[in-house]
Amino acid sequence: MSIIDLTSMGEPQKDIKNQINNRLKKLQDEVSEFCYQCAKCTSGCEAHKLLELEPHKIVALLKRGLIDEMLNSDVIWTCMSCFKCRERCPQKVAPVEILFALKNIAVASGKPIPGKYSAMLQSILSNGLIQDVQTISDRNNQAIKRDKLNLPDLSKPVDTNKFQLVLSKLAIEKI
């Protein structure tokens, strides 16, 4: 199964759509209602100055049901997940978690996944880790490999078939 099959649905699927709607409804009802737009989240946001992410506006858009606009915007992918907004929100709204949910929904509804996420997912599916052992350079530009450093073998899934089976199921289920 290729990464495209796993992350984008070829045809609209009712089940997935229902799940997405349920999750959105939950977010809207349970979370965004508590927000009173104090913008404490945005004042501390690590991505605000640099990438113009405004977490309080994300919550406002969610409240107004402007979901598609957010799913189609790159702005949801600018969060650095520093968790300052979740830590500091006086109403425990956690915009960072709303952003994670929106990104999950964007992926589940077949929107393109930016950057190296697909490569990392592919690597997890094949060997359990986001990347395989890398050859690195030391300060004198000498190539260094893990097996030359007297370190034990890498810990990774032993029964790769079983591991891949569960993970593939999860990747398809998505929500």
Site for another protein, rule CB under 8 A: 7, 46-47, 50-51, 77-84, 86-87, 92, 94, 100-101, 103-104, 107, 113-117, 120-121, 124, 128-134, 136-140, 144, 146, 149, 151-152, 154-159, 162-163, 165-167, 169-171, 173-175
Q: Which is nearer to another protein, 32 or 164 (CB)?
A: 164
Q: How far apart are CA 64 and CA 1, in angstroms?
A: 38
Would you say 156 and 127 are in contact if contact means Cβ atoms under 8 Å apart? yes
**SS3 for 77?**
helix
CB of 21 to another protein, least distance (A): 17
CB of 56 to another protein, least distance (A): 18
For the record, the structure tokens of 54 come out as 């405004």
Would you say 23 and 174 are in contact if contact means Cβ atoms under 8 Å apart? no
Would you say 32 and 59 are in contact if contact means Cβ atoms under 8 Å apart? yes
The residue to which tokens 């709303």 are assigned: 98
Q: Which is nearer to another protein, 29 or 151 (CB)?
A: 151
DSSP-derived pairing of the beta strands 143-144 and 136-137: antiparallel
Q: How far apart are CA 141 and CA 53, in angstroms?
A: 39
CB of 87 to another protein, least distance (A): 4
Q: Which is nearer to another protein, 21 or 64 (CB)?
A: 21
CB of 150 to another protein, least distance (A): 8
CB of 144 to another protein, least distance (A): 6
Q: Which is nearer to another protein, 39 or 51 (CB)?
A: 51
